[in-house]
């Protein structure tokens, strides 16, 4: 493909995902309002009178959609500017149904990562990960010299937490939805609880005990990353120059497939990505994967090989999450957990910690009448061999 064709493809991908945020209200209205109104109209007057609250609840839903619209349009406008998109939203490429669904999921992921309501589920894995890292690196000044890579970092909460613990941390994600969400929260939210969003409109529509559950808001972000970093920097000013941690220099996020950007195999990535590849080999002290092994399901051997590739000799791979988050596409190998452990060992690692059966939901809604509880694994392994 020529450079121009690549650029046109990228423009199309970026603006269609931006559209899926900017026009999310049209999707939500179609999904949640229009079908309700049509169905209600098919009822006899007598049956309509049996559910007298129905029309008012529909109006409440519309108000929630309007508030989501404010949030999503602000996000799309800010991120469009960050990504150098010059044309106005009305000229962006239209979003597909699937992209709107991904925006819907992103709203729920923002609830998990950046709201008080996510505060029960989120720490189950993150506490284990952070405790292990603090045990490994007790000297806080040393931490800023330790490079951590977080593939599949989603909307970025773990990256932020690791930075606030003093680690140089690079997140990576291949999804524009995730990158836009993390970019907005990490760079554009100066005040905590600045935005109300309604992430449960779709999921609570049919499996809640009370209709109010569907229209309950969450506020995001529960903490402002920029404000936290600025105040941490302020505290550092009181220290001697040689003892200061430069929190503002510790965080970065890369866009693209983990294997493509950090792997060893043949690849058609562009010049900037080639540079990242060559700079990353053997550079990281730690790779942390959190609910992201699914990303490996397409190519588990290359995924682990890539982790080995970026780690220094003696570097650690810390993982938390289930073997598989959903029954998504597999590479046909259908590995069991024991098979995976054996593979990890063959690909140059030695396990030092292995815990299984840690129960956690993912993006769970405690008010739903049903939920999926995953039995998660937590492991730490050390790179002992180059491949």
Out of 23, 106, 204, 257, the only residue in the binding site for ligand SAM (CB under 6 A) is: 257
Work out whether 102 is an interface residue with ligand SAM (CB under 6 A). Answer: no
First to last CA, the chain: 32
Q: Which stretch binds ligand SAM (CB under 6 A): 71-79, 86-94, 199-207, 292-300?
A: 292-300
Q: How far is CA 220 from CA 114, 124, 224, 257, 348, in A?
A: 6, 20, 9, 27, 41
d(CA 273, CA 280): 10
Nearest to 145 by CA among 172, 166, 129: 166
Work out whether 175 is an interface residue with ligand SAM (CB under 6 A). Answer: yes
Out of 121, 290, 302, 365, the only residue in the binding site for ligand SAM (CB under 6 A) is: 290
Work out whether 380 is an interface residue with ligand SAM (CB under 6 A). Answer: no
Instruction: Tell me whether residue 152 or residue 348 sits nearer to ligand SAM (CB atom).
Output: 152
Rounded least distance, CB 45 to ligand SAM, Å: 47
Helix axes 54-82, 176-188, angle to 10 degrees: 80
CB 307 within 8 A of CB 281: no
Work out whether 153 is an interface residue with ligand SAM (CB under 6 A). Answer: yes
How many residues touch ligand SAM under the rule CB under 6 A: the total is: 18
Out of 80, 118, 151, 285, the only residue in the binding site for ligand SAM (CB under 6 A) is: 151
Rounded least distance, CB 372 to ligand SAM, Å: 13
Work out whether 178 is an interface residue with ligand SAM (CB under 6 A). Answer: yes
CB 172 within 8 A of CB 149: yes
Q: Which stretch binds ligand SAM (CB under 6 A): 183-191, 204-212, 224-232, 286-294?
A: 286-294
SS (H, E, C) 19-87: HHHHCHHHHHHHHHHHHHHHHHHCCCHHHHHHCCCHHHHHHHHHHHHHHHHHHHHHHHHHHHHHCCCCC
Q: Is the dihedral of CA 175, 176, 178, 179 positive or negative?
A: positive
Which residues, 6+ apart, have CB-to-CB distance to 1 below 8 Å? 9
Helix axes 157-164, 225-237, angle to 10 degrees: 10
Q: What are phi and psi of 350, to 5 degrees?
A: -125, 130
Rounded least distance, CB 157 to ligand SAM, Å: 7
Q: Which stretch binds ligand SAM (CB under 6 A): 62-70, 170-178, 241-249, 275-283?
A: 170-178
Work out whether 258 is an interface residue with ligand SAM (CB under 6 A). Answer: yes
CB 19 within 8 A of CB 94: yes
Rounded least distance, CB 361 to ligand SAM, Å: 12
Rounded least distance, CB 57 to ligand SAM, Å: 31
Task: Tell me which H or E stretch contains 374.
Answer: strand 374-383
Q: Which stretch binds ligand SAM (CB under 6 A): 169-177, 279-287, 306-314, 348-356?
A: 169-177
Rounded least distance, CB 75 to ligand SAM, Å: 16
Work out whether 104 is an interface residue with ligand SAM (CB under 6 A). Answer: no
Instruction: Tell me whether residue 214 or residue 297 sits nearer to ligand SAM (CB atom).
Output: 297
Per-position b or e across 209-237, b if 16+ CB within 10 A of its CB: eeeebbebbbebbbbbbbebbeebeeebe
Which residues, 6+ apart, have CB-to-CB distance to 210 below 8 Å? 367
Nearest to 282 by CA among 369, 383, 156: 383
Out of 14, 68, 106, 154, the only residue in the binding site for ligand SAM (CB under 6 A) is: 154
Instruction: Tell me whether residue 64 or residue 129 sits nearer to ligand SAM (CB atom).
Output: 129
Rounded least distance, CB 294 to ligand SAM, Å: 6
Site string for ligand SAM, 300-339 (x = CB under 6 A): -------------------------x--------------
Q: Which two tokens stand for residue 354?
A: 């292995």
Footprint on this chain of ligand SAM (rule: CB under 6 A): 112, 151-154, 172-175, 178, 257-258, 290-292, 294-295, 325
């Amino acid at each position: 493909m020529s450079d121009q064709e690549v650029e046109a493809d990228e423009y199309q991908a970026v603006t269609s995902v931006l559209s899926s945020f900017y026009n999310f209200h049209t999707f939500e209205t179609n999904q949640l309002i229009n079908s309700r109104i049509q169905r209600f109209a098919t009822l006899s007057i007598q049956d309509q009178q049996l559910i007298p609250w129905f029309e008012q609840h529909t109006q409440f839903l519309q108000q929630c959609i309007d508030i989501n619209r404010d949030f999503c349009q602000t996000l799309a406008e800010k991120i469009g500017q960050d990504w150098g998109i010059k044309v106005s939203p009305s000229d962006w490429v239209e979003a597909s149904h699937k992209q709107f669904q991904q925006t819907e999921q992103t709203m729920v992921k923002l609830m998990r990562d950046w709201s008080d309501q996510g505060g029960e589920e989120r720490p189950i894995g993150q506490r284990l990960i952070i405790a292990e890292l603090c045990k490994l690196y007790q000297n806080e000044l040393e931490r800023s010299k330790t490079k951590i890579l977080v593939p599949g970092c989603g909307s970025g909460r773990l990256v932020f937490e690791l930075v606030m613990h003093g680690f140089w941390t690079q997140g990576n994600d291949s999804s524009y939805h995730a990158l836009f969400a993390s970019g907005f929260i990490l760079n554009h939210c100066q005040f905590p609880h600045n935005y109300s969003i309604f992430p449960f409109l779709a999921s609570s529509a049919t499996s809640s005990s009370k209709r109010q559950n569907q229209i309950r808001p969450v506020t995001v972000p529960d903490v402002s990353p920029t404000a936290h970093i600025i105040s941490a920097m302020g505290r550092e000013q009181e220290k001697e120059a040689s003892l200061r941690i430069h929190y503002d220099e510790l965080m970065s996020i890369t866009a693209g497939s983990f294997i493509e950007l950090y792997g060893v195999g043949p690849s058609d990535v562009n010049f900037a990505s080639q540079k990242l590849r060559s700079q990353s080999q053997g550079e990281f002290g730690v790779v942390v994967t959190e609910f992201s092994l699914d990303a490996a399901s397409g190519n588990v051997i290359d995924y682990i090989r890539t982790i080995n590739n970026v780690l220094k000799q003696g570097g650690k791979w810390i993982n938390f999450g289930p073997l598989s988050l959903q029954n998504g596409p597999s590479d046909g190998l259908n590995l069991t957990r024991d098979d995976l452990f054996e593979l990890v060992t063959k690909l140059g690692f030695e396990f030092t910690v292995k815990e299984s059966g840690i129960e956690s939901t993912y993006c769970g809604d405690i008010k739903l009448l049903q939920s999926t509880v995953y039995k998660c694994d937590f492991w730490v392994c050390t790179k002992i061999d180059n491949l």
